[in-house]
Structures are given as C-alpha cells and as structure tokens.
Amino acid sequence: MIQRIQTFFLILALACMVVLFFVPFGAIITNNGELISLDVFGCDYTNDNGDLMNFASWPILIILIPSVLITFISIFLYKKRILQMRLNILNMILQLGSTGLMFFYLYLASNKFGTDFVTKFTIILPVAAAILTFLAIRGIARDEALVRSLNRIR
C-alpha cells in the first residue's frame, strides 16, 4: 500500500540498493597513479606489460541481489506485517554486510593492483538503505500495534 510511510522508506531503500548495480563504489590507485574503478561486478586492468588482469567481486553481487529482491517483495507484503518485519530484519543484516564486504574487496583489490584505494560516495548507500529499512520496520511495528489494540477493543 503506497500511502503508508514504511512503503515509501522501502522504495527509497530499494532505489539505494539498485544504484549500486550501475555505479562503482570505489577505486584502486595503482603504482603509476592510475585509478581503476571497482563495482559489484569487479574490475579489469591492463598493466604496463599489456597483460589483462581482472578482479571479480561476485560475493558482493550475491549479497546485493537477495537484498534487492527482499526489499521489493517486502513492499507488497503489507497484509502480513510480522513476515514483513522479519524479512526487513534479514535485509538490514544483508545491507550492512554488503558494506563490510565492499570495504574488504576494496582492500583486496588494492593489494593486488596498487598501493591504496579510494571510496566513492556510493559505498554508504547500503548503510542508508539499512537506516531506511529500520525506519520501515518501526512503521510496520506501529501498524501492528495499532491493529492489535483495535482487536482488544472489540
């Protein structure tokens, strides 16, 4: 139901997570000063010798896909509030775990290709999505409390 505030929070969280599929979340600084963008699919780098080196970050993708699906499904579970809250708690864990995994893969890629890494603004999007999901959980809990209080009055 779109008129509920928690649905709005879930749509914003979904948008935050979907953006990560299209925008890199960090960059690796190589020894000669080049920047290699790292996204959820990984990165490819051609070194000075002409060798193509790639770095896959599939675990990030494996966590982001269920997170996006859970958020999307949770939007339409407005009649099953308890299930919706449980799915959103699982989703918060996935979102925060994806942020940690992004930092871990930036560190691994910087050890493989260069000297250091730079984070981009998009790395905080899973944290923002987790905050929005938490706000949605609070709204769902308020709705559940209201429904239970109305059942007591009858």
| Tokens 């923002």 sit on residue | 128
Per-residue pLDDT tens digits for 102-112: 999 999 888 88
Question: pTM for the full model?
Answer: 0.88
Contacts of 87 (CB under 8 A, 6+ apart): 70, 73, 74, 77
Cα angle value 26/46/98 (rounded, 5°): 25
For CA atoms 85, 59, 64, 78, the dihedral sign is: negative
* Alpha helices, DSSP H, located in the chain: 5-19, 58-75, 81-113, 125-153
Domains of the chain: 5-153 (1.20.140.150)
For residues 144 and 122, what is the distance between their CA atoms, to the nearest angstrom?
33
Is 1's pLDDT higher than 60?
no
For CA atoms 138, 144, 146, 149, the dihedral sign is: negative
Angular region, 33: left φ>0, alpha ψ -120 to 50, beta rest: left
7: tokens are 């649905």
Per-residue pLDDT tens digits for 30-88: 878 788 888 898 887 777 676 777 888 899 999 999 999 999 999 998 888 899 999 99
